[in-house]
Structure 1
Amino acid sequence: MRTAILVTMRRRYADLVRLAYLALDDGTTPPETVLATARRAVRHSARAGPGASYSHLRRRLTLELLTQPPHLRRPLLRRLLFEPAATAATPLRTILQRSSPHERLVYLLIRLEGLTSPEVAAELGEHLLVSAWDIDRTCADLDDRTDLDPAAQQAELQAFDPTLVRLRPPPSLPMTARIALVLAAVVLIASGSTAYERWRNAGRPGDPITVGDDRWNRHAVPSLDDWPTQGELRGDRALLRRAASAWRDDRRDPPLGRVSIMYAGTVDGVTIVVMHDTPGTRDSPMVAQYFERPLSRGVESIRRLGNDSGQLIMLGTTWRYLVPPWLSDLSVALPKAPTPAWHPIKVRDGVSDPLNWRWFNPDCQSYVVFRMRHKGTGSISQFASHNPEFATPLIWFRDPDPARDDTGFTGDPAQWTAIHALSCGAGIALAEAGDLRIGRLWSGSLPDKGGHASLISIDVSVPWGTPGMTALISDEGRLMADRGSTNGDYSASTDTLAGAVWWRSQKRWHLLATAGPGIASLKMVGELGNQEARRKGEATRLFVAGPPSRGRYPQAGGLPVVQIVVYEPDGDHAVISPN
């Protein structure tokens, strides 16, 4: 129906406007105002009801003119820019202008539209008390005022075209004045646009925080709060407000405290905003990523950080990472390789180039290893996943000398073996871990021709105070036994660290316990009796042969109950279990 009305309007629009114009023209209103009002009445009649024929549209137009007489206004903009074509009023139009609105409408339906008196009476009778005799008398009265016959009157009315409107001619100004006006208009438009952008990007209460570029340089070891806002869209306040509002509306993990922007820009054709909250000391911060695509927008990943020092953050699934400015000289390697093959990665405006791999080996928990240089702590290493919601733990190797700080990967083959064991050998679930500290408690040959192996300690920073673990790994990075325990945690001293683990050879179970140079002795108590080992040189080691590997003890969980007592030189002691 709507399509049929539009087709009829396109064909007979000029006829409807002519009827409305002549019915509204009283001779005192400017022609452009009458024309604008007539066009508005025609549009309203087209939306008034069903019926797509010209007769239906004309009937609704006459009802519009009868029941809702349009207010004749003279719009300022139309008066300034437009004026009607110069058309002198004919005697017939002058006679119509001096008639009443109802007389004009009746006359036009008879002479212009060619209806009969009964048809006009039927069309107007619903809203106007008029008979066919009244209509004949009105037409006869108007006929007496003109010397034209009915056919000539109809021809003159149909020849009138009210839609002729043209632009008002420009004022006759000198060229210098015209140039000045054009320049003034350009300045006005530019200043208005600038003012709008300033208003749009002006700060408001509750806006997300943006951090300056030089704030991180003021601290020896920058934290997450010092991460500068990077990206070409960091000044788009409207975008930043949308991103922060979308995160606050998240029902599962809304932010705590103020929202701070880390990055806002376009990556691979997608608008991305990365932000973190500020929970204070009561909780670890969270990082959220907001995306705007042609068909979707919203927060797509939220991850809780293990600490507030800042970590590499993968942007969606772009294979690019967000990198803080205090990290430099990035290179990446796959942990599944027997030896590391480092690939340099460039960083531009806080975003790295995409990695060379499009999928990480699932056998290694879908993690890669980054090596980089930190402004305050030197060389560091870090696990990073292709899943932006997974943790990206830093990897620290405990230095045997307690006077020296822990380091990242230094090229030691034993360090790479430990990295391979943690990611590919199921040494620990990296997605749930905080920063890692790895120490080597012992390295040597296992009994019963078990080959060469290393006993390492594994400590996590989150939750703080989590007891340490031990893992026995081969030189290829294979986990050789269930994890045991240590007497320390993430912050424990290296020289007083001790650990124990059960290992099974082809013949029997063995208990392996070792400690650093700060331990005076290790003592085993429990179902296997009591045995003690005192410090020799720089280490204390206790190897105890257990029950046969076949028979009562098929698994480590069913082994005899034993405990290792760790004694320090001053008499303090701690108890650990190899299970």
Structure 2
Amino acid sequence: MQSPAPPPGAATVVDVEQAEASLVEHYPRLVRLAYLVLPPTLGRNRRVLTAHAVTQRALPRGRTGTAPPSIPAQRGGARRAADPAYAYVRARVLRAALDAGRPLLRAAWPRRAQLPPLLPQVWGLRLFPKSGGADELALDQRLSALTGPGRAAYVLHGLERLDDAALRSVLGAAGCDVEEVTAALAEAGGLRAEDGSEAAALLASPEFDPCSLHARPPDLMRRRQHVKAVVAGLAAVLVCGALLGLPGDSWGPEGAAAPSYARNPAAQAALDPGKLTRVAATAWQGSARTDFSVWPARGSLTGDRELLRRALAVWARPGGTVQVSATPGTPAGAPPGPPQLLYAGSVDGARIVLFHDGLRLVRYAEPQHGTSGAALDFARVDGAAAPESGAVIVDRTDGNVRYLTAPWVTGAAVRDLLAPDAAPRRLARTKDGVTAPFPSPAVSASCTGWNALALTDADGTRLATDLGELVPAHLTAGRPDAPRESRPGDWSATACSLAAARSHGVRSVNAWAYARQPLPEAGGEARWVCTRAETWRGGGPRILALFRAPGVAGAVVAARSQNAPACGGRDPRVLAGVRWKSRAGTWYLVAAGSPGLGSVTAAGTTGSGPTLAVRVARGTKASLSGRTRDGVRIDPLG
């Protein structure tokens, strides 16, 4: 027999068994709500773990809890809205997610949700949802600009289909006051007006599903170094008493380096600052090579033997407090012999030393006073030629970057790739070749501009950009089998795609505008661009096919691939397709291939030439392929 409904306005008592049953039944939805409401500044791995933590802590502590007033049923959610246990658990999840985004106050104890979750925890892995498309990325960026209550209002309207009256009730139950609720509704309403009717589908996409995850390892080299440092520290504690009583012949203090008890002659020679290789200032002028091997030793501290000794010792044996990083594919071991000194000087309140050992660039940094917080960075640069050895990042501070330029560089400037018509901004340089600071795109969360470094020498001007590593990536353009130096206009629509290549050991990135396509219904001419990021280790290139519709500022990613020969020097052929909606609201599958394709087939239709446009229903999955004039089949990228 069904129990009578409580009178209007009466509080509904929910016991812990009801709350647990509702939480288990709707767990994926509750975790998605928490993930979307949590601040994106946490990072995707911590957002995933925190979303699960606040959801699992949503049960009442006692045997019963009082649910918030029931919410009128909305479209698609009648069953959930009529369930007081679901309303109770949802309110607790939202309250915890909103608390996690509030700033810590000095005069108050932190709330439980503001602390990192004790459980669940995942060791040795980084978890993040499946990557979505450009629309999901754009929505995530727009949500990050809202306040926590604003995100909650937007997400509840999109996923739970709640109207404004219901939103006021739910947000009030989640701990928001009247002013916060009013401001949140205004924020969410403004964003809904921009997004239109597709927001609900985007919120339900795998991009925002913290229950369907990818797993990747953390920085394995850094973790290995930390384990080694811990083992070395324990060994030092065990034997320090005996060592204190032994007479020593140490060269001097070694700062943040771990203890060393070996006396191997070859290893000791590599750590002797007096045996560092120092190239003459004019050696590059008569050399047949133009790379890091002919860089002279520069900087005001090249004669500071104590600093150089500490830098070499930390390189060989980084202590537990040293922050060690290495680009993918770069070994982080000790120097095989006395390295070459490139730079030693003071920059932005830190002492910086740069070495080159033939395979790697090594950067050591320590504070002006003491060695606490020392950092050690490795970057592979074997086979670097003049385009890749024109500059090295010497310092990053407050989102800005400084470069040490090669001795053959005669001028340096900054160019915004998204504003190709703007004049370059000249960069002042010290007598040692260190540039003035300027904003780096490697740490920017948005893409309102993309700064590139323009270096001028006797052979012309080259463009490079910071992708989060020691050596900037060289930017080229044109056919992959015959690339040329980039001009700013080559990247005006595709520079934001460089964000996908950050921190992957990228040596160079080529942009090739491989096709222009007239769109149906007099939609103008679209442009297709293929970008390929080559790495220093030779493998793992990242390839993107980008589609730019007329009248649109940027380009969207039509297809992507990794470790493929497409759009490269060995095989410059490429084929990609994307769905496009005309001004009349008709959906088409438009596809374009590189020159040399004789035909393209999509959705059962074959057209001659390298481009094709076929009318399709929205959401239809259609096959795509092409053939060269010689009859060789070409599969689409990705």
TM-score of the two chains, using structure 1 as the length reference: 0.51
1:234 to 2:269 alignment: no
The 3 A distance-change label for structure 1 pair 326 and 237 is same
- Distance in 2, matches of 1:542 and 1:366, equals 31
SS of the residue aligned with 2:538?
A: coil
Which of structures 1 and 2 has the bigger CA Rg? 1
CA contact (8 A) 2:528 2:546 kept: yes
2:502 aligned to which of 408, 424, 430? 430
2:579 aligned to which of 489, 500, 503? 503
CA contact (8 A) 1:255 1:286 kept: no
Matches within 5 A, 1:276-355: 276-279=356-359, 285-296=360-371, 299-305=374-380, 308=384, 309-310=388-389, 312-318=391-397, 319-337=401-419, 339-355=421-437
Displacement of 1:442: 1.6
Matches within 5 A, 1:9-48: none
2:538 aligned to which of 447, 464, 467? 464
- 2:486 aligns to what? 408
Matches within 5 A, 1:367-378: 368-375=451-458, 377-378=459-460
1:397 aligned to which of 472, 477, 482? 477
2:606 aligned to which of 517, 531, 536? 531
Displacement of 1:530: 5.9
CA contact (8 A) 2:418 2:492 kept: no
1:453 to 2:532 alignment: no
- 1:217 aligns to what? 285
Deviations 1:6-30 (A, max 9, x none): xxxxxxxxxxxxxxxxxxxxxxxxx
- 1:246 aligns to what? 314
- 2:635 aligns to what? 576
CA contact (8 A) 1:484 1:499 kept: no
Question: Bigger relative contact order, structure 1 or 2, given CA contacts below 8 A and separation 6+?
Answer: 2
CA contact (8 A) 2:315 2:334 kept: yes
The 3 A distance-change label for structure 1 pair 240 and 487 is closer
Q: Which amino acid is 1:547 matched to?
A: V
Displacement of 1:436: 0.6
Matches within 5 A, 1:111-260: 205-206=269-270, 207=272, 208-219=276-287, 222-250=290-318, 253-255=332-334, 257-258=336-337, 259-260=339-340
- 1:521 aligns to what? 598
Deviations 1:389-438 (A, max 9, x none): 466211101169x7x751121x5x3x141453434xx5x33332331111
- Distance in 1, matches of 2:416 and 2:335, equals 35
CA contact (8 A) 1:257 1:278 kept: no
Displacement of 1:543: 0.7
Aligned residues: 340
CA contact (8 A) 1:484 1:577 kept: no
- Distance in 2, matches of 1:421 and 1:447, equals 27
SS of the residue aligned with 1:295?
A: coil
Over 6 Å off, 4+ runs = none
- Distance in 2, matches of 1:255 and 1:408, equals 37
- Distance in 1, matches of 2:392 and 2:316, equals 20
- Distance in 2, matches of 1:501 and 1:420, equals 20
- Distance in 2, matches of 1:509 and 1:523, equals 15
SS of the residue aligned with 1:228?
A: coil
Deviations 1:300-354 (A, max 9, x none): 2414246634253332335421111122321103345474341101222343342
The 3 A distance-change label for structure 1 pair 500 and 246 is same
Displacement of 1:533: 2.2
Q: Which blocks of at least 5 consecutive residues in structure 2 are unaligned?
A: 1-250, 252-267, 325-331
SS of the residue aligned with 1:241?
A: helix
- 1:442 aligns to what? 515
The 3 A distance-change label for structure 1 pair 220 and 330 is farther
SS of the residue aligned with 2:484?
A: coil
- Distance in 1, matches of 2:497 and 2:432, equals 29
- Distance in 2, matches of 1:503 and 1:391, equals 37
- Distance in 1, matches of 2:345 and 2:512, equals 41
Q: Which blocks of at least 5 consecutive residues in structure 1 are unaligned?
A: 1-195, 197-203, 280-284, 535-540, 554-558
CA contact (8 A) 1:460 1:489 kept: no
1:263 aligned to which of 335, 338, 343? 343
Displacement of 1:439: 1.0
The 3 A distance-change label for structure 1 pair 504 and 229 is same
- Distance in 2, matches of 1:544 and 1:220, equals 52
Matches within 5 A, 1:349-388: 349-355=431-437, 357=439, 361-364=444-447, 368-375=451-458, 377-384=459-466
The 3 A distance-change label for structure 1 pair 205 and 303 is closer
SS of the residue aligned with 2:507?
A: coil
Q: Which amino acid is 1:226 matched to?
A: V
